[in-house]
A and B are shown apart, each in its own frame.
Chain A
Amino acid sequence: MAFPAFALYSFLYLYPSLSNVYYSFHRWDGVTKPEFVGLHNFAYLATNDDLFMKVLGNNFRFSFIVVIFQTLLALLFATFLLKNTKTTIALRIVFFFPTILSSVSVGLIWTFLYDPNFGFINALFKAVGLDGLALNWLGDGKYSLYAIALTQIWFHTGQMVVIYVAGLQQIPQELYEAAEVDGASRWQQFKSITWPMALPTTAVVVAYTTIQTFRAFDLVYSMTQGGPLNSSDVLVTLIYNTAFSSYKWGYASAQSIILVFVVLLLTYLQRRTLRINTGEK
């Protein structure tokens, strides 16, 4: 009964994954026969390719910012919205709303909000007299990556709130009651009960967000296409351009192999760290 799934998956997932490894050892323009070059692509990536290093750095920065802020924000909101009342449920619905939009729609909406001349954000800054903050958010290489990171946080925080709420509702209420009796402050309760008890959920949220940020493409492509001057390029947009604008297919395959390794390594490291913290073996 597993045959149709197995067949499709092998042919359109496993087989391409293996071909990807094969192509990464070749020089190939996608048309002529691939020419075997051994580890040359990887050596070149590691030593000679400033653009790749820049984009790798971009992606790490993007990922780091989104993981830290989105996770903390979601945890904070989840503690606020833990009890099921009319207001909290309504707020959870509102917070979750962006998740259902397509990345391209979100990208276009935020392109407007960030628009240097007509955008809402700059209009807001000017209205309160902070004209100095009315910047060219997407058009200036200093800010473009961070502007997209903020959009990403806006996009998915609500989804993480819902995951956290489900996780936090498992924490026995007695723990908080006991802490209350002992006169523990809210901060102490958070530090000694919520945070440690929520670690398994945090592990899930962090892992998911990390993978999501290293898969990022749609948002970047629809907001800046990686520009200006590659300042907001991430790995998948770079791989896409290497293959479909520069026609260096073997090289693009090598880049995507690095992407796989980065994702696997980060997933592994996170699991280890969070397991140590939760005391599991």
Chain B
Amino acid sequence: MFYKVFKTTLLSLFAAAVLIPSSIVILGTFKDDLEIYTKPLALPKHWSLRNFQTLIETGNVFTPFKNSVIVAIFSVSLTLLFASMAAYMIARSTTVTGKFLFLLFALGLAIPGQVNIIPIYHLFVQLHLTNSLLGLILVNIALTLPIAIFILTAFFKDLSREMFEAAAIDGAGHWRIYRSLALPLCRPALAATGIFLFVICWNDLLFPLMLISELDKKTLPLTLIDFRGEYATSYSMLFTAVMVASIPMVIMYLTMQRTFVAGLTAGAVKG
């Protein structure tokens, strides 16, 4: 009896802790500030789209949105490509090179990428890669390669060796086996890893904050930080901006819920 009450109470409390703030934000996008302060959880008096309109007219949300999409898509697809190639080579290697490479990438898992902000900034200034989306993409790839290689190598190692050997006997080269056999077989792992990487790239603040200062190169998290200063306590505008920044993730989460959870937990477990 006590257990049941304890369990129900705790679960309800945490569910409420998630659902109430989410509702406040979603409902708040249709309200003005006063209504948010006085009745945060009530349905809006008028379902007005004025906040969205203001956001589009004044704050430049399209450009950061577009930048975030470009950075995330290129970072994720290139990381997946390079990581799967390296993982395939490491998993199939019988020589010491494969082991060495794996250890080298494992080093990247031990050192958090955030500690390298100073040398990376300095290097990027010299290479004229600040204020450049290409720069952000390169940083993202370099920082997420170790974890992606780690997850994918584990997956490739689970595939049967005989199958690859049979393909090799039939005369298929490494490239051919990688493209026509290994990649299609690891599609679920690629999808899960891809989502994990997408969340990282879409949400990153530190590197854009450091590398980007021009308005037309800013990504969404950076724009949200700017909004915080600009609309200091205009929560209706902040909520609307948060909503716009989160919509792609929410849609992906709701439609690909399984892959999402698999990706974000694999990332944690393997990392």
Q: Which residues of A contact B (CB under 8 A)?
A: 1-2, 4-6, 8-9, 11-17, 19-20, 23, 30, 73, 76-77, 80-81, 91, 93-105, 108-113, 115, 117-118, 120, 123, 154, 157-160, 162-163, 166, 186, 204-205, 208, 211, 214-215, 217-218, 221-222, 236, 239-240, 243-244, 249, 252-253, 256-257, 259-260, 263-264, 267
Complex Cα distance A98/B89, Å?
36
Residues of chain A contacted by B40 (CB below 8 angstroms): 120, 123
Q: Does B105 contact A (CB under 8 A)?
A: yes
> Which of B13-21, B47-55, B159-167 participates in binding chain A?
B13-21
Those 7 A-B pairs whose CB atoms lie nearest each other, nearest first: A12-B142, A102-B203, A16-B119, A5-B86, A2-B86, A19-B119, A256-B115
Give the distance to chain A from B61, nearest Cβ to Cβ, in Å. Answer: 14
List 17 contacting pairs A-B, 8 Å CB cutoff, sorted by A: A1-B89, A1-B178, A8-B141, A12-B142, A14-B108, A16-B123, A23-B119, A100-B199, A105-B224, A105-B245, A108-B242, A110-B21, A112-B239, A123-B40, A163-B268, A221-B225, A249-B122
The answer to whether A8 touches B138 (Cβ under 8 A) is yes
Complex Cα distance A160/B264, Å?
10
Chain A interface mostly: helix
The answer to whether A204 touches B117 (Cβ under 8 A) is no
Q: Does B25 contact A (CB under 8 A)?
A: yes
Complex Cα distance A181/B235, Å?
56
Selected contact of A17 from candidates B116, B199, B249, B261, CB within 8 Å? B116
Q: Does B10 contact A (CB under 8 A)?
A: yes
Selected contact of A112 from candidates B24, B113, B203, CB within 8 Å? B24
Q: Which residues of B contact A (CB under 8 A)?
A: 3, 7, 10-11, 14-15, 17-22, 24-25, 36-37, 40, 81-83, 85-86, 88-90, 101, 104-105, 107-108, 110-123, 138-139, 141-143, 145-146, 149, 174-175, 178, 199, 202-206, 209-210, 220-221, 224-225, 228, 233, 235, 238-239, 241-242, 245-246, 249-250, 252-253, 257, 260-261, 264-265, 268-269, 271
